[in-house]
Structure 1
């Protein structure tokens, strides 16, 4: 009787008070108590929340607090300004003509091709790596694990081994570029379709077989390289470094549409990628075809990686570095916000590396060296400070 009296007296005294710390930690539970307001910011019994309370400041979106929103947009603005500065530096630095002279713009126009290549590779690596890490549910691996770089190395080495130095020169054209794209995309689609279309499909098995194929192609390429003459090996080595100078303006009419369509396709799948990131069981329970979404995303990723590798050569560490920094700076798992952040970081990293190597070390185009140094240092810093990615 005494307990019932206490319950009745509590019920007549008014609504139950809830600790604001509990509401901040569990906004969904607070919303249920607040009369069904799902955002966690609504009033109880029609009364507005107190100013400065945790419920008034939080929301259920990907950026739940005003502080996280300010941080995200501040980073976007800073990266956009840095990208514009790097682009201007690439076009104008060490230009012998004054900016008012028509010759200045002629020289800047010649440098514009490299700037477009940097933007394309940054888009391909950023979008492709973030999407690949999402569907594989692993923040350490990159699409290079599927053997794209190894296939590129095998193609270049085979051309040198069977046809000599002249074959390397002849491979720098639109037709060889398209052939490399078709081979890379075809190999990846055959691998995806075979391993993910069966009844017992497994992403882990797909990754394992990709590692084996990549290792096998690398071993064959290494064997052929050891039989080359020193002069042939020097010419081949220049093509096997990730370098902006490996690109050609004739590649752009094919690579630009492919890159734009694949990036647009992944961006339109952002909300579905948010669900796929929850895992196979949760995705199926929420009504999505997990296998279909997986194949669609991997198809776009294979196009992006094939374009990137065929344009400038192997760039193993760039995608990992960009994805890692994007998660750190964006502080959200929403792909609609991760993709733009990753693209800007990719341009800043790749464009900055190109500017430094060209104007300080006078090693024009060879950007893979500085990217691996910076990327390895950033990886160790994040691991040692936070203990996680």
Structure 2
């Protein structure tokens, strides 16, 4: 009962912030402003939900609350695609001018990269920790290659790449939003048959295997779901590196439970609170002089350092 009350409390807080964002500060042009804000809120729910959901799964697989799916190198892959398109084809190419082509290319590249990486490693019988190590190495390589391309391109075109480095909800393409929702629903439906294993997997590989979980098969399917969700969220608005780390750890601290049905909901609610609150600050306090990802990464980075220091003391 107490867990339900806590979940409802965070849900109410998320709804309250959404209402404040939607309905405050509108003096005229309701027909334009309200739908525009509504699309931003929907994009926030989609992005925040995908990142929070995938981070909970990823931390359960790795049994580590400091790691996030960004360690797989998907954010670096996204930036490499953006820089590579401009480097080879220029800013006037159809991929840069048409957001739908750019979205499909980005999502496709990240998902294909993840699938090939998972298939190669698990076919060799390797474990998740080698996957993390390879992800760090490839992510660093992609980031270095992207930086090299950015140095060589025209300064005006570099500004286009820089804009893609930070998440933004200010210009959301409606068609891309519906495609993202569809892909998220497919990922969620794919997850449902695996939900019965997730609480047991939090105990670790040995315990999960002893309790009858087909561990390797489940992990492979869960990692593909994680890759799809992160790819969709990143391609839709851009990378938000520390959001998953921040909201999932807050959910663990607030709920004090191993039950994933509560952790999923509260992590998503915290994600909505962080993104809607951050968007309010960006628009009403900083008047669009910064981006929401800068705020989230600033707070998340401080919280990450706190977690490291706390683990070191323990």
Calculate the TM-score normalised by the size of structure 2: 0.92
Question: Which residue of 1 is the match for residue 222 of structure 2?
Answer: 297
1:82 paired with 2:17, answer no
Q: How far does residue 379 in structure 1 lie from its aligned partner after superposition?
A: 3.8
Question: Which residue of 2 is the match for residue 187 of structure 1?
Answer: 113
Deviates more, 1:84-93 or 1:148-157: 84-93
Matches within 5 A, 1:294-373: 294-363=219-288, 366-373=291-298
The structure with more helix, counted as a fraction of residues:
2
Which of 113, 119, 122 aligns to 2:48? It is 122
Are residues 146 and 383 of structure 1, via their aligned partners in 2, closer, same or farther at CA, if it must alter by over 3 Å?
Answer: closer
Give yes or no for contact 1:354–1:365 (8 Å, CA) kept in 2: no
Question: Which residue of 2 is the match for residue 378 of structure 1?
Answer: 303
Give yes or no for contact 1:123–1:263 (8 Å, CA) kept in 2: no
Are residues 237 and 334 of structure 1, via their aligned partners in 2, closer, same or farther at CA, if it must alter by over 3 Å?
Answer: same
Are residues 267 and 75 of structure 1, via their aligned partners in 2, closer, same or farther at CA, if it must alter by over 3 Å?
Answer: farther
1:195 and 1:74 map into 2 onto residues whose CA distance is 42
Give yes or no for contact 2:52–2:244 (8 Å, CA) kept in 1: yes
Question: Which residue of 2 is the match for residue 275 of structure 1?
Answer: 200
Q: How far does residue 267 in structure 1 lie from its aligned partner after superposition?
A: 5.3
Which of 64, 67, 84 aligns to 1:158? It is 84
CA root-mean-square deviation? 2.2
Which of 16, 36, 53 aligns to 1:110? It is 36
Are residues 219 and 131 of structure 1, via their aligned partners in 2, closer, same or farther at CA, if it must alter by over 3 Å?
Answer: same
- Considering Cα pairs closer than 8 Å and 6+ residues apart, tell me whether 1 or 2 has the greater RCO: 2
Give yes or no for contact 1:123–1:259 (8 Å, CA) kept in 2: no
1:136 paired with 2:62, answer yes
2:271 and 2:290 map into 1 onto residues whose CA distance is 16
Are residues 329 and 303 of structure 1, via their aligned partners in 2, closer, same or farther at CA, if it must alter by over 3 Å?
Answer: same
Structure 2: gaps spanning 5 or more residues: none
How many residue pairs get aligned? The number is: 314
Query: For each residue in 1:30-81, what CA deviation from the matched residue of structure 2 results, as whole angstroms up to 9, or x when unmatched?
Result: xxxxxxxxxxxxxxxxxxxxxxxxxxxxxxxxxxxxxxx42x3333222222
Calculate the TM-score normalised by the size of structure 1: 0.75
Give yes or no for contact 2:55–2:245 (8 Å, CA) kept in 1: yes
Question: Which residue of 1 is the match for residue 157 of structure 2?
Answer: 232
